[in-house]
Amino acid sequence: MFRVIGSFQYSEQMLQNVPEFLENLGPGLLVRIDADQTPSFLIEPGSTVRVHRPDGTFIDRVVSGVEVFGQKVGLFFQKTEQHEIPVSSEIEMPA
Q: Where are the domains of the chain?
A: 2-92
Beta bridge partners of 7: 31
Residue 94: left (phi > 0), alpha (psi -120 to 50), or beta? beta
Indicate the CATH number for domain 2-92. Answer: 2.40.10
Q: What is the per-residue DSSP string for 27-71?
A: SEEEEEE-TTS--TTT--TT-EEEEE-TTS-EEEEE--EEEEETT
* pLDDT for the residue 40: 46
Instruction: Tell me what the pLDDT averaged over the chain comes to.
Output: 84
Enter the pTM of the model.
0.83
State pLDDT tens for residues 53-90: 999 999 999 999 888 877 778 899 999 999 999 999 99
Instruction: List, in sequence order, every residue forming a beta bridge with 65; answer none if it has no partner.
Output: 76
Cβ-based neighbour number of residue 55 at 10 Å = 8
Using the predicted structure, report yes or no on whether residue 18 has a pLDDT greater than 70.
Answer: no
Stretch 2-29: mean pLDDT: 77
Portion of the chain with pLDDT greater than 90, in percent: 46
